[in-house]
């Protein structure tokens, strides 16, 4: 076959027509005949044949469009079928390899039409001996001066390049898990943020560490801990997929870079899935290990424009998530900077409140749905701070758990609940929530026995409500505690059932008497296109088959009550019957033998509105008004302070921090308006709400620097009592 043009480009001198035999396949490159030859053509071809057949390397050529016109048969078993195909689709560079050209596709190199020197490549999708080739090539020019393609050769560099890759991997990859290491993640985050600043693009960052990992190391040994980290890494790969880059920073700390994602709805969903998947049990050395994780989330450029600022924000969010009860995610907010100090103060105040007996228990009725008779009460802890007023349990319980103050706090609640319930009718039970920390201490069973004995209550009337997190410790110790509690005669209830991934395995191994259907299913059970009602049916059916009772909690409206009744619920707890009440009120009601509570509530459930008192800015056309937001839900808000706003007016609510919400006025009553959001808010991971997207700081700065308004204001801004 004709290889004259190829030989000339390789500096071999002239060539005559010759048969290349089976050492090569080629298409005529159309090169002109050479006028003379300095080397005997037959000798030259013999040398080239020997070179190709020896397997040290191979020759290649393309036309001006990048299609292969020649390739040595020794290059690949399918070399003959490659002629006429674009070389860039047949050969690939090493995306994660060492060297400056790593990650750049061959098409990029060819597009420059310059000399290619020792570019390391492999055949696409081919694992033949794992071979790597150093590709070199010279651009060829036609007699008219136009580009005619490439002529080149490749040599085998598998051994030396494999060694380089291993060295590079050792420098940038975690040897235990195969994830990127801290060094690589630092470089990648720096590079991504530098490039994104120029294009005004965003980047999400998640920081996470494992809850209860130290316990696995201490009880099962470091080899088991290493295997656990490997399994965690594999689960993270499956959850994150191609959306981001995952690194292990050291110990049980992980980091996830998520380029071009600023939607806090998507980020929250991903974080929740990470938490759920990582928290499923692990099989290690024939035993079961259970851990959890907490996630902190920050988004550039809103929470930091460079790596140091973004990582610091994500770390603060992680700290808040861990100390907010663990197994949670949190987004960064400026308020988090003061949260650590605030928690320290509250912790000390809580110690003093417990010592001074300033805490109290309130009791919410559990009602039998067929006749509305009270069959029990759940004891709920309340703290009315002497200076700050009521402190919600969602705030002070995690603080107590963090400092182990939850143990004496839990013991106090047990004693107090049993003491109060001892005066109730024998048909009425009392349920007490037990923290996983309290459940895990050595003297827990003794404290239960003491509370029962000192109060004189029938153990059967005491119900201990546990969550799945009690299983996040040694399974043998958990089973021993369960056996000891059942020997006392107390009842066990699994709270928040259905929100975890492994509840069924717990039911198989733990002696529960009751399941409590989580309020998150009740909240949407009456809505269309929701599976919550079906899930409630499934849980009720499962409990019935296992001979367990069920309580459906969180029922607030008649439409929800009707749904759970139709699905077979027997016991209900929620505001439609009663809020939690002080013991004095409970005692008064029971003294009158008033065990019946008629349901009383709205006909239809509305999305939860949070009572707030927050200053916001309302934007209409080119005017900005100050107002006060009093109520907030995912889909709307009530705003006070604007007079003369008609229904149907389009407004933008500025919640601060780049959170702008496009809204429509749906109610207007003097200076109070109700607005409906164009896009629902999403969870901020801490029980609050936030916008899915934020406006970048640079855009906000440019908007506020614009000229003065050109039109007259349409509405009247009025002062709201109590706002400053």
Segment 414-446, tens digit of pLDDT: 999 999 999 999 999 999 999 988 998 889 999
The CA-CA-CA angle for residues 42, 150, 88, to 5°, reads 125
Residue 343 forms part of a structural domain = no
CB atoms within 10 A of CB 431: 26
**pTM strictly above 0.75:** no
For residue 217, which phi and psi values (nearest 5 degrees)?
A: -60, -45
Same domain, 505 and 378: yes
46 and 69 in contact (C-beta within 8 Å)? no
Instruction: Answer yes or no: do 218 and 322 share one domain.
Output: yes
Judge whether 722 lies within some domain: no
CATH of residue 462: 3.20.20.450
Q: Please tell me whether residue 494 adopts helix, strand or coil conformation.
A: strand
Q: What distances in angstroms separate CA 97 from CA 64, 93, 118, 120, one per listed residue?
A: 29, 8, 14, 9
Question: In this prediction, what percent of the chain has a pLDDT beyond 70?
Answer: 87
Q: How many Å apart are CA 382 and CA 364, to the nearest integer?
A: 12
Q: Mark whether 242 and 390 lie in a shared domain.
A: no
Give DSSP secondary structure letters for 524-557.
TTTSTT-SHHHHHHHHHHHHHHTT-EEEEE---S
Structure-model confidence comparison of residues 527 and 452, the more confident one: 452
CB 9 within 8 A of CB 140: yes
Per DSSP, 433 falls in state E
Q: What number is the average pLDDT over the span 441-461?
A: 95
How many residues are there in the chain? 724
Least reliable range by pLDDT among 134-138, 199-203, 225-229, 388-392? 388-392
Q: What is the Cα–Cα distance from 683 to 690, expressed in whole angstroms?
A: 6
Position 109 in a domain: yes
CA pair distance 490, 464, nearest whole angstrom: 7
Q: What 8-state DSSP symbol labels residue 470? A: G
Residue 78 lies in a domain: yes
DSSP class of residue 511 equals -
Report the candidate in 687, 691, 651, 656 with the shortest Cα–Cα distance to residue 667: 651
Task: Identify any residues that bridge with 672 across adjacent strands, giving them in sequence order.
Answer: 640, 669
Backbone angles phi and psi of 658, in degrees to 5: 80, 10
C-alpha–C-alpha distance, residues 476 and 463, integer Å: 22
Nearest to 525 by CA among 515, 534, 517, 516: 534
Number of H helices, E strands in the chain: 21, 34
Q: Is the Cβ–Cβ distance between 256 and 245 less than 8 Å?
A: yes
Q: Cβ–Cβ contacts within 10 Å for residue 165, how many?
A: 18
Instruction: Check residue 370 and give its pLDDT.
Output: 93
Number of domains in the chain: 4
Is 338 a domain residue? no
* Confidence check: pLDDT of 110 > 60: yes
| Six-digit token string for 550 | 């069920």
* Same-domain pairing of 435 and 541: yes
* Domain final position from 130, 164, 198: 164
Give pLDDT tens digits for 563-600: 999 999 999 999 999 999 999 999 998 887 878 999 99
Distance of CA 665 to the CA centre of its chain: 34
User: Where a domain ends, among 137, 164, 191?
Assistant: 164
DSSP-assigned states of every residue in 336-352:
GGGHHHHHHHHHHHHHH
Q: Are residues 521 and 654 in the same domain?
A: no
In whole angstroms, give the CA distance from residue 2 to residue 687: 75
- One domain for residues 313 and 408: no
Decide if pLDDT at 79 tops 50: yes
- Domain presence at residue 100: yes
Mean residue pLDDT of the chain comes to 85
CB 668, CB 647: distance < 8 Å? yes
658: region left, alpha or beta (phi > 0 left; psi from -120 to 50 alpha): left
Same structural domain, 106 and 56: yes
In the prediction, which pLDDT does 306 show? 93
For residue 610, what is the enclosing H or E element?
Answer: strand 610-620
The string over 11-46, giving b where at least 16 C-beta atoms fall within 10 Å of a residue's C-beta and e elsewhere, is ebbbbeebebeebbbbeebebeebeeeeeebeebbe
The more confidently predicted of residues 695 and 62 is 62
CA distance 216 to 258: 30
Structure tokens at 160: 């030396």
Of 244, 218, 247, residue with least CA distance to 233: 247
pLDDT grade, residue 724 (50/70/90)?
Answer: very low
119 strand-pairing partners:
135
Following DSSP, what letter does each residue of 442-476 receive, concatenated?
A: TTHHHHHHHHHHHHT--GGGEEEEE-GGGGSS-HH
Decide: 196 and 261 in contact? Cβ < 8 Å: no
Q: What is the CATH number of the domain that holds 29?
A: 3.30.450.20
Q: Which residue has the tokens 């506020």?
A: 704
> Cα–Cα distance between 156 and 359 in angstroms, integer?
77
pLDDT (0 to 100) of residue 705 = 59
Domain shared by 156 and 50, yes or no: yes
Q: Is 357 left (phi over 0), alpha (psi -120 to 50) or beta?
A: left
User: Could you tell me if 656 and 516 lie in one domain?
Assistant: no
Q: Give 684-702 pLDDT, tens digit per residue.
A: 877 788 999 998 777 766 6
- The structure tokens 């040599």 sit at 155
201 token code pair: 């693009």
Q: pLDDT per residue over 8-57, tens digit each? A: 444 443 333 333 334 445 554 444 444 444 667 778 788 877 777 777 78
Residues 149-155, mean pLDDT to the nearest whole number? 93
Q: How confident is the model at residue 468 (pLDDT cuts 50, 70, 90)?
A: confident
Tokens at residue 696, please?
């970048």
Residue 452 falls inside a structural domain: yes
- Contact between residue 499 and residue 518 where contact means Cβ atoms under 8 Å apart: yes
| Residue 581 · residue 358 · CB < 8 Å | no
Residues 447, 311: one domain?
A: no
> Can you give the residue range of the structural domain that contains 58?
4-164
Does 637 share its domain with 583? Answer: no
In a domain, residue 348? The reply is: no
Do 186 and 315 reside in the same domain of the chain? yes
Structure tokens at 499: 């929100």
Q: What is the mean pLDDT of residues 482-489?
A: 94
Which CATH number goes with the domain that contains 704? 2.40.10
pLDDT tens-place string over residues 231-266: 999 999 999 999 999 999 999 999 999 999 999 999
Whether the Cβ atoms of residue 132 and residue 162 lie closer than 8 Å to each other: yes
């Amino acid at each position: 076959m004709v290889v004259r043009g190829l030989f000339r480009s390789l500096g071999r001198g002239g060539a005559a027509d010759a048969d290349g035999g089976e050492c090569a396949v080629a298409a005529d490159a159309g090169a002109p005949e050479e006028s003379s030859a300095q080397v005997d053509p037959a000798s030259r071809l013999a040398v080239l044949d020997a070179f190709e057949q020896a397997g040290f390397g191979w020759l290649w050529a393309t036309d001006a469009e990048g299609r292969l016109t020649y390739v040595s048969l020794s290059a690949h078993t399918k070399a003959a079928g490659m002629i006429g195909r674009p070389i860039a689709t047949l050969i690939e560079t090493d995306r994660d390899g060492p060297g400056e050209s790593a990650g750049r596709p061959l098409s990029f190199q060819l597009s420059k039409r310059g000399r290619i020197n020792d570019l390391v490549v492999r055949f696409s999708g081919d694992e033949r001996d794992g071979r790597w080739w150093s590709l070199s090539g010279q651009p060829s020019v036609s007699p008219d001066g136009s580009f005619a393609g490439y002529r080149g050769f490749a040599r085998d560099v598998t051994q030396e390049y494999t060694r380089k890759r291993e060295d590079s991997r050792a420098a940038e990859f975690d040897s235990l898990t195969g994830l990127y290491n801290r060094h690589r993640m630092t470089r990648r985050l720096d590079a991504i943020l530098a490039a994104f600043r120029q294009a005004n693009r965003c980047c999400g960052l998640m920081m996470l560490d494992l809850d209860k990992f130290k316990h696995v190391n201490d009880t099962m040994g470091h080899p088991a801990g290493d295997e656990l980290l490997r399994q965690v890494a594999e689960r993270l790969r499956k959850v994150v997929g191609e959306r981001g880059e995952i690194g292990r920073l050291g110990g049980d700390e992980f980091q996830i870079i998520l380029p071009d994602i600023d939607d806090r709805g998507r980020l929250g969903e991903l974080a929740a899935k990470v938490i759920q998947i990582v928290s499923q049990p692990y099989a290690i050395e024939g035993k079961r290990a259970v851990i959890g994780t907490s996630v902190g989330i920050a988004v550039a450029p809103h929470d930091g424009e460079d790596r140091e600022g973004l990582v610091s924000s994500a770390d603060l969010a992680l700290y808040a998530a861990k100390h907010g009860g663990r197994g949670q995610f949190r987004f960064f907010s400026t308020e988090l900077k003061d949260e650590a100090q605030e928690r320290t103060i509250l912790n000390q105040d809580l110690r003093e409140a417990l010592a001074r007996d300033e805490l109290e228990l309130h009791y919410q009725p559990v009602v039998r749905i067929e006749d509305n008779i009270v069959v029990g009460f759940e004891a709920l802890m309340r703290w009315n701070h002497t200076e700050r007023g009521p402190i919600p349990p969602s705030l002070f319980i995690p603080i107590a758990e963090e400092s182990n103050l939850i143990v004496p706090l839990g013991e106090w609640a047990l004693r107090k609940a049993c003491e109060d319930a001892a005066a109730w009718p024998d048909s009425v039970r009392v349920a007490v929530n037990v923290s996983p920390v309290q459940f895990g201490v050595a003297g827990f069973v003794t404290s239960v026995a003491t509370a029962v004995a000192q109060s004189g209550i029938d153990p059967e009337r005491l119900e201990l409500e546990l969550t799945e997190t009690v299983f996040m410790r040694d399974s043998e110790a958990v089973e021993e505690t369960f056996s000891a509690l059942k020997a006392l005669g107390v009842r066990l209830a699994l709270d928040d059932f259905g929100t975890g991934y492994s509840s069924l395995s717990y039911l198989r191994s733990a002696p529960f008497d009751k399941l409590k259907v989580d309020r998150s299913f009740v909240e949407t059970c009456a809505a269309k296109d929701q599976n919550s009602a079906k899930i409630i049916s499934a849980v009720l059916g499962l409990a019935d088959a296992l001979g367990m009772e069920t309580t459906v909690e969180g029922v607030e409206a008649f439409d929800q009550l009707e749904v759970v009744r139709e699905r077979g619920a027997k016991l209900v707890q929620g505001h439609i019957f009663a809020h939690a009440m002080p013991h004095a009120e409970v005692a008064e009601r029971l003294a009158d033998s008033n065990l019946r509570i008629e349901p009383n509530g709205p006909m239809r459930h509305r999305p939860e509105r949070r009572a707030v008192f927050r200053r916001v800015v309302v934007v209409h056309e080119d005017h900005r008004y100050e107002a006060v937001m009093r109520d907030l839900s995912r889909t709307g808000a009530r705003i006070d302070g604007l007079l003369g706003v008609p229904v149907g007016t389009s407004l933008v609510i500025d919640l601060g921090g780049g959170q702008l919400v496009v809204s429509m006025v749906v109610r207007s009553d003097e200076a109070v308006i109700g607005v409906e959001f164009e896009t629902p808010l999403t969870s901020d991971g801490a029980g609050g709400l936030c916008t899915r997207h934020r406006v970048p700081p640079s855009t906000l700065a440019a908007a506020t620097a614009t000229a003065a308004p050109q039109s007259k204001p349409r509405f009247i801004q009025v002062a709201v009592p109590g706002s400053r």
